[in-house]
């Protein structure tokens, strides 16, 4: 439900999803305060600019009697966080981020949930950007600090709500319910389904079953529409129980309802054509690179068509989309060397980033600096990581960034072990690099190189050192 005029305390407020929700709550005339660790986050500036105070650390005394609602992240203990436990003891209402978001969405006229293992942030950002530039007035929650001059969370009306929909646990350790199950959308957009979060799911089939339940529950509750990738066999299979009149596919395959074709790159932009059930929708162009982003955009073109938005306005808006923070984000250009940053933390995402770089810079070397995210993912997907990393000209692997949700007792799978496995598979272009020895890259990075930092941890904090190396490259 839409909450106004309340004092809301947000535990773990610096996470991109929590910050986005905080911004929406504030636009709804609530008083927002939060807590988090002292580490620098990409959202720090946005919270400061919006005058949202942050308390350092998590202390029960921060939970005062005048607080109306506590919303907690799934990290930092989730429902077992000391501030959350204090709120429960005081009888203050406590919601997880997933529960709060789902409840908020229910009061909007048209709701759109964007899910998928890969691409959901870019796709939800594209959808939010198209709708923002339409005649409708709504809200969005996108899992990034900023995109195309918009913040990750905003509110300006009740016509629609676009949100990311995450398959991960509502509160790790206490409630394994997938977060997207708290959303009851009119439209589900599914970019793809892949195995991830091995601390939550046993295998790909287990992941697929969660999506399948989301699809069928949504259809029963709201008689909603499913938009899915027809090129992704796992998504196609998961959609089987949704009635044919309630689902539409997009992709490059001839069988898709929204057919993408004639993809190419000209003048550093991606070009492609789209048609819906044989009706030509014309040519589109994108600033953001890569075939995967053409697919993401195809999902949004299909959504816009089903929402009966003006196709020419949609085309123009998409051509102006400049991307999201930490998604192939341009950080620095100097000495004919480009530095980009990307949130990619799964093998398929890393491969897509490399393909995007090569499509835009076909004659340049691609140097990847990868910070693995979580021990469980690194170990479970080691072979796929090695295959993806080997696609770059050189890949350097930093130490694993352990997620706040991982227990200290969990077995460690180190980056050095990943490199050892790579050597056994004769992959010689992948090396271990300690973050304390980034200066070694002075002898590696040359004019014309495309350098990309990737990972879901805090790899962005090394950008200043990399910029200095690039600025002085010979």
pLDDT digits (tens, 9 = 90+) for 421-437: 999 999 999 999 999 99
Kindly state the tokens that stand for 380. 């479970």
Residues 194 and 279 in one domain: yes
Residues 131 and 263 in one domain: yes
For the beta carbon of residue 326, count every other beta carbon within 10 angstroms.
Answer: 24
Residues 391 and 252 in one domain: no
* Structure confidence at residue 267 (pLDDT): 80
Number of domains observed in the structure of the chain: 3
% of the chain at pLDDT higher than 90: 89
pLDDT digits (tens, 9 = 90+) for 74-83: 989 999 999 9
User: Average pLDDT over the chain, rounded to whole?
Assistant: 94
Give me the half-sphere count of Cα atoms (radius 13 Å) on the Cβ side of residue 422.
27
Residues 198 and 287 in one domain: yes
pLDDT digits (tens, 9 = 90+) for 271-311: 999 999 999 999 999 999 999 999 999 999 999 999 999 99
pLDDT digits (tens, 9 = 90+) for 87-118: 999 999 999 999 999 999 999 999 999 999 99
Residues 299 and 251 in one domain: yes
pLDDT digits (tens, 9 = 90+) for 318-374: 999 998 888 889 999 999 999 999 999 999 999 999 999 999 999 999 999 999 999
- Give dist(CA 431, CA 419) in Å, integer: 6
Residue 2 included in any domain: no
Residues 28 and 51 in one domain: yes
Return the DSSP state at 412. Answer: P
* Structure confidence at residue 258 (pLDDT): 98
| pLDDT score of 222 more than 80 | no
Show the CA angle centred on residue 288, arms to residues 286 and 291, nearest 5°: 85
Residue 203 included in any domain: yes
The domain that holds 450 is classified in CATH as 3.90.190.20
Last residue of a domain, one of 270, 292, 320: 320
Residues 89 and 128 in one domain: no
Measured CA to CA in angstroms, residue 474 lies from 155, 337, 392, 452 at distances of 48, 11, 22, 19
Ramachandran region, residue 99 (left: φ > 0; alpha: ψ -120 to 50; beta: rest): alpha
Residues 18 and 117 in one domain: no
The β-bridge relationship of strands 269-276 and 279-286 is antiparallel
- Give dist(CA 369, CA 394) in Å, integer: 9
- Give dist(CA 375, CA 370) in Å, integer: 14
- Give dist(CA 36, CA 47) in Å, integer: 12
Structural domain containing residue 55: 7-99
% of the chain at pLDDT higher than 70: 97
Residue 240 included in any domain: yes
Kindly state the tokens that stand for 441. 């890259």
Last residue of a domain, one of 99, 119, 146: 99
Return the DSSP state at 263. Answer: E
pLDDT digits (tens, 9 = 90+) for 167-196: 999 999 899 999 999 999 999 999 999 999
The domain that holds 23 is classified in CATH as 3.40.50.720
Residues 138 and 16 in one domain: no
- Give dist(CA 229, CA 249) in Å, integer: 5
Task: Let me know if 220 is exposed, middle or buried by CB neighbors in 10 A (0-12, 13-18, 19+).
Answer: exposed
Confidence of residue 40 (pLDDT cuts 50, 70, 90): confident
Residue 465 included in any domain: yes
Residue 1 included in any domain: no
- Give dist(CA 32, CA 66) in Å, integer: 12
Kindly state the tokens that stand for 183. 């959303």
Residue 369 included in any domain: yes
Residues 36 and 87 in one domain: yes
The alpha-helical segments, DSSP class H, found in 361-389 are: 375-380, 382-389
Last residue of a domain, one of 48, 68, 99: 99
**What average pLDDT does the segment 199-220 reach?**
92
Residue 244 included in any domain: yes
Residues 283 and 172 in one domain: yes
Task: Let me know if 223 is exposed, middle or buried by CB neighbors in 10 A (0-12, 13-18, 19+).
Answer: exposed
Residue 227 included in any domain: yes
Residues 273 and 307 in one domain: yes
- Give dist(CA 354, CA 46) in Å, integer: 30
Confidence of residue 410 (pLDDT cuts 50, 70, 90): low
* Structure confidence at residue 406 (pLDDT): 61
pLDDT digits (tens, 9 = 90+) for 130-140: 999 999 999 99
């Amino acid at each position: 439900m839409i909450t106004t005029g309340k004092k809301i305390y947000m535990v773990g407020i610096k996470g991109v999803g929590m910050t986005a929700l905080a911004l929406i709550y504030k636009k709804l005339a609530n008083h927002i305060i939060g807590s988090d660790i002292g580490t620098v986050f990409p959202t720090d500036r946005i919270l400061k600019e919006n005058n949202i105070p942050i308390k350092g650390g998590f202390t029960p005394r921060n939970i005062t009697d005048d607080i109306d609602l506590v919303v907690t992240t799934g990290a930092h203990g989730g429902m077992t966080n000391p501030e959350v436990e204090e709120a429960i003891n005081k009888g203050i209402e406590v919601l997880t981020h997933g529960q709060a978001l789902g409840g908020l969405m229910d009061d909007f006229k048209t709701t759109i949930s964007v899910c998928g293992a890969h691409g959901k942030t870019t796709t939800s950002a594209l959808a939010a950007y198209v709708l923002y530039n339409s005649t409708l007035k709504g809200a969005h929650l996108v899992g990034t600090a900023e995109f195309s001059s918009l913040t990750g969370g905003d509110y300006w009306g009740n016509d629609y709500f676009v949100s990311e929909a995450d398959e991960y646990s509502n509160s790790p350790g206490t409630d394994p319910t997938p977060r997207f199950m708290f959303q009851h959308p009119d439209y589900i957009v599914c970019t793809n389904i892949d195995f991830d979060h091995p601390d939550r799911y046993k295998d790909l089939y287990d992941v697929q079953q969660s999506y399948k339940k989301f699809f069928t529950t949504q259809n029963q509750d709201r008689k909603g529409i499913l938009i899915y990738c027809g090129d992704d066999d796992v998504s196609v299979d998961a959609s089987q129980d949704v009635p044919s009149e309630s689902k539409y596919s997009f992709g490059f395959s001839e069988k898709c309802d929204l057919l993408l074709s004639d993809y190419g790159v000209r003048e550093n932009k991606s070009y492609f054509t789209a048609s819906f059930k044989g009706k030509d929708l014309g040519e589109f162009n994108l600033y953001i690179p890569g075939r995967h982003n053409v697919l993401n955009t195809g999902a949004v073109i299909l959504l816009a068509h089903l929402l009966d938005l003006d196709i020419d306005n949609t085309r123009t808006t998409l051509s102006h989309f400049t991307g999201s923070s930490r998604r192939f984000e341009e950080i620095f250009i100097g000495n004919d060397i480009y530095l980009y940053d990307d949130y990619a933390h799964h093998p398929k995402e890393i491969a897509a980033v490399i393909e995007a770089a090569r499509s835009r810079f076909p004659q340049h070397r691609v140097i990847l600096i990868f910070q693995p995210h979580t021990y469980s993912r690194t170990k479970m997907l080691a072979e796929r990581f090695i295959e993806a990393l080997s696609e770059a000209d050189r890949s350097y692997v930093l130490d694993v960034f352990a997620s706040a949700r991982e227990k200290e007792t969990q077995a460690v799978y180190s980056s050095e072990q990943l490199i050892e496995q790579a050597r056994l598979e004769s992959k010689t272009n992948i090396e271990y690099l300690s973050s304390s020895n980034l200066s070694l890259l002075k002898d590696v990075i040359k004019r014309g190189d495309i350098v990309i930092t990737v990972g879901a941890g805090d790899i962005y904090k090394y950008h200043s050192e990399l910029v200095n190396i690039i600025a002085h490259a010979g």
